[in-house]
Amino acid sequence: MGKVIAFSNQKGGSGKSTLSANLSVLWSNSGYKVAVIDADAQKSLSYWLEARKSYYGEDDIGITQLNFDIRNLIDEIKAIKRKYDFIIIDSPPSITFETMQVVKASDRVFVPVQPSPVDLMATLPFLKIAKQERKNPIIILNRVMPRAKLTDAMILRLRYAGAKIARSRLSSKVLFAETFSVGRGVVDISVTSDASKEIINVGNEILRNF
Ligand SMILES: Nc1ncnc2c1ncn2[C@@H]1O[C@H](COP(=O)(O)OP(=O)(O)OP(=O)(O)O)[C@@H](O)[C@H]1O
Ligand SMILES: [Mg+2]
């Protein structure tokens, strides 16, 4: 049965599309059947898929895009879930009806966040909603700068708010932006780069949380 994974956060620019693209490439290149759903009206992931088709050829991108009417998302996913190993949903940066459909349709919700106090605190309302829906939301810290430390106080506040934070993190690397713009993922280029090691770790940690 396919695992339905959403990357969601109402905070814009936190890394939802970057994680959606890179994990779909990771699992597809590892031999799994992967589908993606772009639930964001900005359509960044759809542009990424178009660029991927230009790069690899229309039928050789290794990833299926599913275009569902957001109003029927839950039923549509149920109907096709068994055809894929992973269904990855890229969410809009909002807490709207669309986002709620994404959360409800998913088995697990992962929440990319840039590790600034403002971004983390702005994420708490979304975590609360995902928890109410029993999706075991887990924060994935993204664009972590070398030597930048989350203060203990901040981590404590998050823990008190009931937030779970993944051990695996993504650092700020231009490779993530460069590969995205040409329809690729970091593991397409080399599986041994630092960026790829981070994506592989995130992928493994996601699987451990099922
Ligand atoms: N780890 C990273 N290192 C460097 N650049 C990154 C990283 N993660 C994301 N970016 C860049 O930051 C920008 C925002 O990332 P992304 O589009 O993944 O966020 P998003 O949450 O999907 O945004 P939106 O809310 O607008 O949909 C993009 O230009 C992306 O290439
Ligand atoms: Mg996006």
Q: What is the pLDDT of residue 146?
A: 76
18 lines ligand 1 (CB under 6 A): yes
Q: Give dist(CA 199, CA 185) in Å, integer.
A: 10
- Distance between CA atoms of 33 and 89, rounded to whole angstroms? 14
CA quadruple 14, 116, 204, 199: dihedral sign: positive
Question: Beta partners for 34?
Answer: 63, 86
8 Å CB contact between 81 and 2: yes
* Rounded Cα distance, 12 and 18, in Å: 12
Residue 85 CA from chain centroid, whole number: 16
**Domain at 3-208, CATH class:** alpha beta
- 1 CA to middle of ligand 2, Å? 26
Q: Are 28 and 34 a contacting pair, CB within 8 Å?
A: yes
Q: Which residues surround ligand 2, an ion (CB under 5 A)?
A: 16-17, 44
Is the CB of residue 16 below 6 angstroms from any atom belonging to ligand 1? yes
Rounded Cα–Cα distance for residues 90 and 67 (Å): 12
In angstroms, what CA-CA distances link 89 with 85, 110, 118, 153? 13, 10, 25, 32
69 exposed, middle or buried (CB, 10 Å; 0-12, 13-18, 19+)?
A: exposed
0.75 cut: is pTM over it?
yes
- 126 CA to centre of ligand 2 in angstroms: 16
Q: How far is CA 99 from the centre of its chain?
A: 13
Query: Which amino acid, 152?
Result: D
DSSP state letters, 18-44: HHHHHHHHHHHHTT--EEEEE--TT-H
Q: For residue 72, what is the DSSP state?
A: G
pLDDT in tens, the chain (210 residues): 799 999 999 999 999 999 999 999 999 999 999 999 999 999 999 999 999 999 999 999 999 999 999 999 999 999 999 999 999 999 999 999 999 999 999 999 999 998 888 888 888 899 999 999 999 999 999 998 876 666 566 677 777 777 899 999 999 999 999 999 999 999 999 999 999 999 999 999 999 999
Specify which residues 38 forms β-bridges with: 90
